[in-house]
Structure 1
Amino acid sequence: MKKKVLAVIVVLGIIAGSVWGNSYFNHSKTQDVYSGTIEGTEIPVQPELGGKVIDLKVEEGQMIKAGDVIAKLDDSQAKISLQTAQSQQTQAQAKLDDLLGGTRAEELRRLESVLAQANDNVAALAPSLQLAQNNLANDQQLYKSGALSKQALDTQQNQYDTIKAQYDAAQANVNAAQASLDQAQAGYTQPTIQAQKAAVDIAAQSVKAAELNLSKLTITSPANGQVLYKEVEQGQVVNPGTTLITVLNPNDLWIKIYVPEAKLNKVKIGGTVGIAVDSYPNKTFKGQIQYISTQAEFTPKDVQTKEERTTTVYAVKISITQGKDQLKAGMPADVTLD
């Protein structure tokens, strides 16, 4: 009888030990399982320039590829700016070609004709100036002798000054015409040519800037993904930096969990983890630890129980490396540290 009782006690002890062991094991295991939500990188698509949306080519839920045209903004003013810049470039280049090619024969003949006309004007004014100068000298003598009034002398002085001013202006025209002819015959100087080359370069840069601005009015997708949100409608006027759509990158899935300080010894950058979701109950996907926060924080209220919300934890970001074609953003998941 005693042996039977002893056997029962032993059996009960084994069962109790087994239950305790399983309980302890499961408890320990749950300490290394952390809950989170699968998230995907969201990319806002924003124009660098503002304008009216004249064409919006995507809808929410649509799959798009990098480089696909998403929207077009009104480009009428940008096209005018480009045409203006191109015209200025053409003019600047034509002027430079003239400088490099030297002065044409017809231009030399024109400058010679201008000089000849200027000399004729001086020659025509010379007798009148000489006569006015002689008359003024005579009137000055008469005024000194008292035979001429001061008013008459002043009148003669004004006539002389007027003709002298006309003569000086005509002579200045001769000098300018001669200088232009001399420069044309000698050819343009290097500083003049270099200055025009700089003008051509500036015009070319203006064309490139106008082309760039025009291209920025066609908005393309920066990555492959799915249109998550459409923020504007066709016909709407938007400012630079306005989000037109939000693209979800399905190939960049990740989970953020919060690990207590006491468990940080099991976490390291590059370490692997197991990921389980309700949609695939008998399957575990792999992930890799990508980032560990350097600052402690309290567990977010929506992650743990009320008691655990006072626990000091560290945020850990895990990149999903397996099952991207099965896992979706928004799925709740459990992460097991290896």
Structure 2
Amino acid sequence: MKRRLALAILLLVLIAAILERGQLLAWGTALRLSFGQTGGNTPLLASGTIETETIDLSSQAGGRIIRLNVTEGDQVAAGDLIAELDTALVDAQIAQASATISQTQAQLALLKAGPPPASIEVARAGITQAQAASAAAYTAWQDAKALLTAPDSLDVQIINAQTTVQVAQEQVAAAHALATAADEEQALWGRIVAQLEKGYDIPSPQPGGGTVHVKAPAAQLSDAYLQWNLASQKAWQAHAQVDIATATLATARQTLSDLQAQKVTPQSQQAQANAAEWAYRAAEAAVDVARANLDVLLAGAQAEQIQSAQALVEQAEASLKALQVRRSQAQVRAPQAGTIIETILHRGEVAGPGSPIARLGDLSKVTLTVYLPESQLALVHLGQSAQVMVDSYPGRLFPGRVVEIADEAQFTPQNVQTREQRATTVYAVKISIANAGGDLKPGMPADA
């Protein structure tokens, strides 16, 4: 009977242990945590997972990764280059911005320096030219008005134009005659040159007769070439005079035709007078514009123009600085010392702005978050020591200390009505663990 009672008690103890072990594993992941004695002889056990604070290493600019200098597990110091992105586009933009700065600075310097003396002289020459054009336009206007008030003068102009046409016709005829004579002279010297180049066949003075070929003297041939070239030039000039005389005759005939048309239709004289007046008014306006241009040059740039140019320079400089910042963001550096926990992207892949390229963690300080039911929460307090064990290092204890206890329960049902439901409510407890050697790794299951 006693033997059966002992077996029953042992069976109950084993069942209770199994149930307790199942509850602990529901709180964590195969990890046992010992908070030391809880007022009795039984230590408080809990479970969780090793964690550490991590930093996502990324670039605000984004781009294609052309260099990745780390792999998982590498130790890095603060400032170490982790990755480098392609900068071809931003480099081109920086060059363009630098050129814009040079251009705007040059414009600002010109405004501050004022117009060069050469520009002032050109402006003054423009006034003189405009005044000359105005004077000529005024003369043409007055001549047109004279034709309206003195019709007889038109007859005189027609007679003069007829005379000019006759003279031009004679000049054309004379030019043609000169051109013909020049052509004949050129042809003559051409034949002479050809004969001299060919040489002469003369009877032989030797008995038996026959002929002897004799070359022309070199000096004679050279002089013939010279005269032929001069004759060619004269012929070209004579034909050029024909073209000039012909053009002069055409102009004289057009002038005569216009004058005769004016006599037949007097209304055209009024139209010409009006057109001459408009041309004179336009020439006077051109004089005013030229004078205004000179006044602007002598006055120099206004304060508003200089301020606007200065603003353009500052805007270009700000754009360059922004591009240089983007250029620096192409280099992803470690903000602090630590261990590369994970490489997320690889060389050749495109990283978006803010997308993590690698993950950095400080393994010298790790934490363990465990979950305790409400019934055991009163047994834990801040600063309480703890002993942590992991499966990777059997029998080794890692000292820790409670640094945070949650104020609110987790995994709590919406309506907690019964004592049994309240008993399943759990609270997070965070424990800080010294890890100077880096033996504990994030995600490692542990017992404590």
Query: Taking structure 1 as the reference length, what is the TM-score of the superposition?
Result: 0.71
> Per-residue CA shift, 1:156-181, capped at 9, x if unaligned?
67656655665555444433332332
Query: Could you tell me which of 392, 402, 408 is aligned with 1:295?
Result: 408
Offset, 1:24? 8.5
- Larger Rg computed on CA atoms: 2
Structure 2 Cα separation of the partners of residues 246 and 136 of structure 1: 98
1:323 matched to 2:435? yes
1:259 matched to 2:372? yes
Tell me whether 96-105 or 256-265 shows the greater mean CA deviation.
256-265
Secondary structure of 1:26's counterpart equals: coil
Indicate the residue corresponding to 1:195 in structure 2.
308
Query: Could you tell me which of 359, 363, 366 is aligned with 1:246?
Result: 359
Offset, 1:327? 3.4
Indicate the residue corresponding to 2:388 in structure 1.
276
RMSD: 3.6
Offset, 1:80? 1.0
Query: Could you tell me which of 213, 225, 232 is aligned with 2:326?
Result: 213
1:1-338 to structure 2, matched below 5 A, reads 25-27=40-42, 29-30=43-44, 33-131=45-143, 153=267, 166-167=279-280, 169-265=282-378, 271-278=383-390, 279=393, 281=395, 283-290=397-404, 292-298=405-411, 311-320=424-433, 322-325=434-437, 326-334=439-447
Secondary structure of 1:297's counterpart equals: coil
Secondary structure of 2:364's counterpart equals: strand
Structure 1 Cα separation of the partners of residues 134 and 77 of structure 2: 78
Tell me whether 44-53 or 271-280 shows the greater mean CA deviation.
271-280
- Percent identity at matched positions? 32
Q: 1:56–1:96: structure 2 CA closer, same or farther, 3 Å change rule? A: same
Structure 1 Cα separation of the partners of residues 279 and 427 of structure 2: 93
Contact 1:285/1:323 (8 A) holds in 2: no
Contact 2:374/2:422 (8 A) holds in 1: no
Indicate the residue corresponding to 1:303 in structure 2.
none
Structure 2 Cα separation of the partners of residues 126 and 203 of structure 1: 52
Offset, 1:81? 0.6
Offset, 1:206? 1.1
> Per-residue CA shift, 1:42-87, capped at 9, x if unaligned?
2222222232222222222221222211222221111111011111
Unaligned stretches of 5+ in structure 1? 1-21, 140-147, 300-306
Offset, 1:277? 1.6
Query: Taking structure 2 as the reference length, what is the TM-score of the superposition?
Result: 0.56
Q: 1:271–1:171: structure 2 CA closer, same or farther, 3 Å change rule? A: farther
Secondary structure of 1:244's counterpart equals: strand
Offset, 1:198? 0.9
Tell me whether 81-90 or 216-225 shows the greater mean CA deviation.
216-225
> Per-residue CA shift, 1:87-120, capped at 9, x if unaligned?
1111111221222223222222222223333333
Contact 2:375/2:423 (8 A) holds in 1: no
Q: 1:163–1:225: structure 2 CA closer, same or farther, 3 Å change rule? A: farther
Offset, 1:263? 4.4
Contact 1:277/1:331 (8 A) holds in 2: no
> Per-residue CA shift, 1:223-254, capped at 9, x if unaligned?
32222222223222333233222222223422
